[in-house]
Amino acid sequence: MPPFPEVLTVGETMALVVPARAEPLESAVDFRVEPGGAESNVAAHLAALGRRAAWAGAVGDDPLGRRLLAQLDALGVDTSWAGRDPGSPTGVYFKNPGDGVHYYRTGSAASRLGADTVAGLPVAGARLLHLSGITPALSASCEELVDALFAAADAAEVPVSFDVNHRPALWPSRAAAAERLLGLARRARVVFVGLDEAEGLWGTSTAESVRELLPEPAQLIVKDGAVGATEYSHSAPAAHVPATPTTAVEVVGAGDAFAAGWIAAWLDGADAEARLAAGHARAVLTIAGTSDVPREEENDG
């Protein structure tokens, strides 16, 4: 068994199909197939920063699933706790540069995960458990999985970082998403949320109003796109760091990169300004390209 990871991430990884160059899907000829999923993206960026990061979840026992696991391994992500489901497929999504993404994930292997998955995971050995609001929306059993993961982390006194990651298409209604995601965020030690995301869910139009709604997390990071990010803490004044100027090619996946940069700095004991700056620095790498994960040549882990 490999050493316990510093950061354990749990969720769905899919096959991301993206044009090899920044051009529309309908006219592209050459494509890349890479891992893509909020939690595995975070793990891949952490590995590129030299941290021991593991991704746990499930892929289909199919060529795409085996490809994704091999690619994550090559990126330095520990996939020892990832399962292969012979009865369900690996999810797929297509990125249309500059115009969003298209998902094909219904009935995926990851959607069949449940609370019984937790017993085999190294939650107690990690320094941090990272989850997102995508997982509880995948299925009823995945909702139970997330609750069980929070309970296991609480029992082991392992802090949880939670990226709200609201995906409207996965939820039956905005009201259902708002209630469930707020409840989960209130249970986490660290919370990442976009200001526009928070406004759409909860009607909070400023970073300060998000903090008023969410006083529980020890660290709350409110991201405001190209403007910057603000961190609220129980032990220090609020800190704001402007975003790093860059030419955007594709913003999908930038939030995961930001979370990884912030987490790596947090593991190092950095202060709020340094954590936010590290998040911005990592996000720029994703915004300037079309990949959700670091390209292998960027990985120095």
256 in active site:
yes
Tokens of 295: 């390209």
Order of all β-strands in the sheet with 92-95? 31-36, 14-19, 92-95, 101-104
- Cα–Cα distance for residue pair 127/263, rounded to 1 Å: 11
Tokens of 34: 């890479």
Angle at 233 between CA 242 and CA 145, to 5 degrees: 100
- Cα–Cα distance for residue pair 79/10, rounded to 1 Å: 11
Angle at 224 between CA 222 and CA 227, to 5 degrees: 130
- Cα–Cα distance for residue pair 15/192, rounded to 1 Å: 24
Tokens of 294: 């670091």
* Nearest C-alpha neighbor of 61 from the set 81, 90, 39: 90
Q: How many residues would you count in the chain?
A: 301
Number of separate helices (H) and strands (E) present in the chain:
8, 14
Tokens of 282: 């990592």
- Asked if 43 and 55 count as a contact pair (C-beta separation under 8 A), the reply is yes
- Which of 85, 163, 256, 292 is flagged as catalytic? 256
| Active site residues per annotation | 256
